[in-house]
Amino acid sequence: MTVYPTATDTDMMTTSNVKNMDSAELVAQKSIEGLLLKKIEVILGGEQRLKDVETNLNRPLEIDKKVKESYKSYKTQTNNHRAM
């Protein structure tokens, strides 16, 4: 099973400037539900995230373009972020 969480609110993320992170408890709950339901994938983040994962699998250049357009925003959000 593959789990696709969004940014997850853990100690490792305290230096990031990311809003609306999923809780670690939610990620664990959805992962366990996925295991019990024998799912191949568990994707968190709502409808847009589902669309993004599908696009990435089938039309990866579209996702590359989207990420490129969002680069400055991601850079600002993670400017002070240190995961280790």
Q: What is the pLDDT of residue 40?
A: 96
**By residue range, what is the domain housing residue 55?**
2-78
Residue 56 lies in a domain: yes
Residue 26 has pLDDT above 70, yes or no: yes
Domain count, the chain: 1
Residue 62 lies in a domain: yes
Residue 46 lies in a domain: yes
What 3-state DSSP class applies to 77?
helix
pLDDT in tens, 36-74: 999 999 999 989 899 999 999 999 999 999 889 988 887
| pLDDT above 90 coverage of the chain, percent | 52
Q: Say which residue, 54 or 76, is predicted with more confidence.
A: 54
Q: What is the pLDDT of residue 83?
A: 66
User: Residue type for 47, please?
Assistant: E
